[in-house]
Amino acid sequence: MEFNNVIFPCQSSAEAESRWDIHVKDGKACRILPSQHMPGEPPKLLLPALCHPHIHLDKAYILTCNNSFSNRHPDYSDLVPNTGSFDEALGNTSKAKQRYTDEDLYLRGRQLLATSYQQGVTCLRAFVELDHVTGSLPLTTAIRLKSEFAHLLEMQICAFAQDPLFSTAHGDENRLTITALLTEYASCIQALGTTPYVEESREASLRNIKWAITTAIHHRLHLDFHLDYNLATPLPPNQPMVFSVVQQLQAHDWLALADESKTIVLGHCTQLTVLCDSELEQLATIIIQSKLPIHFVGLPSSDLFMMGRPGLETNASQARPRGTLHVISMIRDLGLSACIGINNVGNAFTPLGSGDPLEMAAWCVAIYQAGTISEAMILYGCISWLARRAIGFGENPGCGNIVEGTSLQGMLMVQNKRHIKLPGTADGSELTIPARQRTNLKDIVWDPPPIETRSIVK
Ligand SMILES: [Zn+2]
């Protein structure tokens, strides 16, 4: 097999726009020569594949699947957002969960995984909700999907408690449900996720955190919290929960007791954006000194949709603080590990989007005011190698310099069109305009290539 006229945008900068002709045998580059391409021929780009560090499998496309034309699938059309509030999203999603069927979960899950693969994703952490309403159904469907897509996607299943475990009428039942499933399906589950902020009190949130830490250690799982999902200024002595998570991880001796390969991921954490620099620096110092494998994941589309709602009493309804973790600053200025995820697509928590990580990275240029070339590189990392690292997968194949003998893997972007052709005037002539060509990472992040031009090489 041959790949001609290929650029590796993640190579060291001196070679980043050089073009190569590569002969491939058994998946490995056996000969790499300077490209003999024709002048003006658009290059192909081979990029590290993408990763979803945080995506909800069972909740995807609830509002956009439009499967109810078949009477074998539930109708969710009455569950579209009305106020768009967080409580409404929680309530409508609870109602949706009561209607889940095996076939419906399987179809929406396949649609999400197929779309992700076409977008360039090769690994993901898939969240499945397990509680007194869903029982094991989202989990057993996820196991089926993981097997069906195993040749295309590396998929981690995260057993996830979206609902309270230590408060409300169903807390005990939810906890018993997920506890039983963690044992019954131990060989199929790689991560445990909970949502401490949905508990009714701070004390219950702390119990939720402790339970999740000890349970993850016991079952040798990755740990994943949905945390500090608000934009309120913390009232002393109550710091954001992230401080308690670090304390509890230390108190339960995560470093000594947890499997060395397991990581801790903290999602949302929007409240950190209201802290002052000295408080953030204090948090960063605590985390770095703890040596705990903590990674933050920003979930901008959900955060911007959900956070920053005006209060009922306000007389300035357009003053909306749009808070989401400033992932680039956390990496560059605070020395923390962080990445970016899609979280939800097509449901009451995030109605918008196609789930494309590259589209999200492009939006992050605006969201983070990150318009430099080095920031484009970090943003690509946040949906690729940094995301992979956060959820405990190894290094991304295809990230470093390509030399003969290395395996050729990644997302190939093929730009076929040299020209854009448009209808001309009545005499039949065409308008012919040279097409723009993408030649580096900045072009990819700022202006994501159409999905039809992407494919996975492995
Ligand atoms: Zn989530």
Give the pairing type, strands 121-129 and 50-56: parallel
Distance 68 CA to ligand 1 centre (A): 25
- CA–centroid distance, 134 to ligand 1, in Å, is 17
Separation of 127 CA from ligand 1 center, angstroms? 7
Say how many Å lie between the CA of residue 78 and the centre of ligand 1: 23
Measured in angstroms, how far is the CA atom of residue 35 from the centroid of ligand 1? 44
Structure tokens belonging to residue 297: 């994941």
**Do 246 and 333 fall into the same domain?**
yes
Q: How far is the CA of 253 from the centre of ligand 1 (A)?
A: 26
User: Is 395 among the domain residues?
Assistant: no
| Lowest-pLDDT choice from 31-40, 130-139, 314-323, 374-383 | 314-323
Q: What is the pLDDT of residue 312?
A: 66
Assess contact for 444 and 9: CB atoms under 8 A. yes
Could you read off the pLDDT of 190-217 as tens digits, one per residue? 999 999 999 999 999 999 999 999 999 9
Q: What spacing in Å lies between the alpha carbon of 314 and ligand 1's midpoint? A: 29
Residue 396: inside a domain, yes or no?
A: no
Measured in Å, residue 172 CA sits from the centre of ligand 1 at 22
Task: Return the pLDDT at 216.
Answer: 98
CA distance 456 to 441: 17
Same domain, 158 and 28: no
Q: Provide CB contacts within 8 A for 423, sequence distance 6+.
A: 430, 431
Segment 300-323 mean pLDDT: 85
**Where a domain ends, among 390, 422, 445?**
390
Using CA atoms, how far residue 191 sits from 10, 111, 184, 336, 453, in Å, is: 30, 23, 15, 21, 33
Same domain, 35 and 119: no
State the pLDDT confidence band at 316, using cuts at 50, 70 and 90. Answer: confident
The bridge status of strand 44-47 relative to strand 2-7 is parallel
> Is residue 421's pLDDT more than 80?
yes
Helix axes 277-290, 241-251, angle to 10 degrees: 20
Percent of the chain beyond pLDDT 90?
81
Task: Provide the pLDDT for residue 308.
Answer: 80
* Interatomic CA distance for residues 100 and 96, integer angstroms: 7
Q: What is the pLDDT of residue 14?
A: 66
Q: Provide φ and ψ at 137, rounded to 5°.
A: -55, -50
pLDDT value at residue 289: 98
Residues 348, 63 contacting (CB under 8 angstroms): yes
Same domain, 383 and 414: no
Helix, strand, coil percent content, the chain, rounded in steps of 5:
35, 20, 40
- Amino acid 248 reads Q
Strongest mean pLDDT among 79-93, 227-241, 354-368, 391-405: 354-368
- Considering the domain architecture, whether residues 122 and 222 belong to the same structural domain is answered as yes
Query: Residue 197: CB partners within 8 Å, gap ≥ 6?
Result: 205, 226, 227, 228, 229, 230, 241
In this structure, the answer to whether residues 297 and 271 fall within a common structural domain is: yes
**Ligand 1 centroid, distance to 319 Cα (angstroms):** 26
Say if 440 falls within a structural domain: yes
Domain stops at, among 390, 411, 442:
390
Would you state the pLDDT for residue 237? 86
* Residue 231, pLDDT above cutoff 90: yes
Does the pTM surpass 0.75? The reply is yes
Kindly state the average pLDDT of the residues 264-281. 97
Distance 344 CA to ligand 1 centre (A): 7
Cα 157 to ligand 1 centre (Å): 13
Cα(59) to centroid(ligand 1), Å: 10
Cα gap 242→225, rounded to integer Å: 9
**What pLDDT, on a 0 to 100 scale, did the predictor assign at position 390?**
98
Mean pLDDT of the chain: 94
The amino acid that residue 369 corresponds to is: Q
Binning pLDDT at 50, 70 and 90, where does residue 400 land?
low
What's the 226 CA to ligand 1 centre distance in angstroms?
Answer: 6
CA of 56 to the centre of ligand 1 (A): 6
Span from the CA of 55 to the centroid of ligand 1 (angstroms): 6
What is the DSSP secondary-structure string of 188-201? G--EEEE-GGGSSS
Q: For residue 294, report the distance from its CA to the centre of ligand 1, in Å.
A: 17
Which of 229, 163, 220, 165 lies closest to 192 in space, CA to CA?
A: 220
| Same domain for 354 and 340 | yes
pLDDT for 48 equals 95
Ligand 1 center–CA 256 separation, angstroms: 28
Q: For residue 185, what pLDDT is reported?
A: 98
In a domain, residue 85? The reply is yes
Helix (H, G, I), strand (E, B) or coil at 171: helix
Residue 396 pLDDT class (50, 70, 90 cuts): confident
Expressed in angstroms and rounded, the spacing between residue 374 Cα and the centre of ligand 1 is 28
Its domain, for residue 75, covers: 50-311+319-390
User: 264 C-alpha vs ligand 1 centroid, how far in Å?
Assistant: 14
| Shared-domain flag, residues 181 and 35 | no
Instruction: Classify residue 126: in a domain, yes or no.
Output: yes
CA of 302 to the centre of ligand 1 (A): 9
Q: Which of 369, 390, 411 is the last residue of a domain?
A: 390
Cα of 29 vs its chain's centroid, Å: 30
Q: Could you tell me the distance, in angstroms and rounded to a whole number, from the CA of residue 6 to the centre of ligand 1?
A: 37
Is 90 exceeded by the pLDDT of residue 69?
no
Same domain, 341 and 227: yes
Confidence band, pLDDT 50/70/90 cuts, at residue 71: confident
HSE-up of 22 (CA within 13 Å, CB side)? 27
Cα(25) to centroid of ligand 1, in Å?
A: 41
pLDDT band at 1 (very low <50, low <70, confident <90, very high): confident
DSSP state, 78? Answer: G
Q: Before 34, cis peptide (omega within 30)?
A: no
Say how many residues make up the chain.
Answer: 458
Question: Are both 366 and 231 inside the same structural domain?
Answer: yes
Ligand 1 center to 54 CA (angstroms): 6
Reported as a pLDDT band with limits 50, 70 and 90, residue 12 is confident
- For residue 86, the model assigns a pLDDT of 86
Ligand 1 center from residue 75 Cα (angstroms): 23
User: What angle, rounded to 10 degrees, do the helices at 202-219 and 241-251 form?
Assistant: 40
Distance 298 CA to ligand 1 centre (A): 10
pLDDT for 167-184, tens place per residue? Answer: 999 999 999 999 999 999
Quote the number of domains for the chain.
2
Do residues 454 and 413 lie in contact, with contact meaning Cβ atoms separated by under 8 Å?
yes
Instruction: Identify any residues that bridge with 411 across adjacent strands, giving them in sequence order.
Output: 47, 456
Q: Which amino acid is at 27?
A: G
The answer to whether residues 328 and 184 belong to one domain is yes
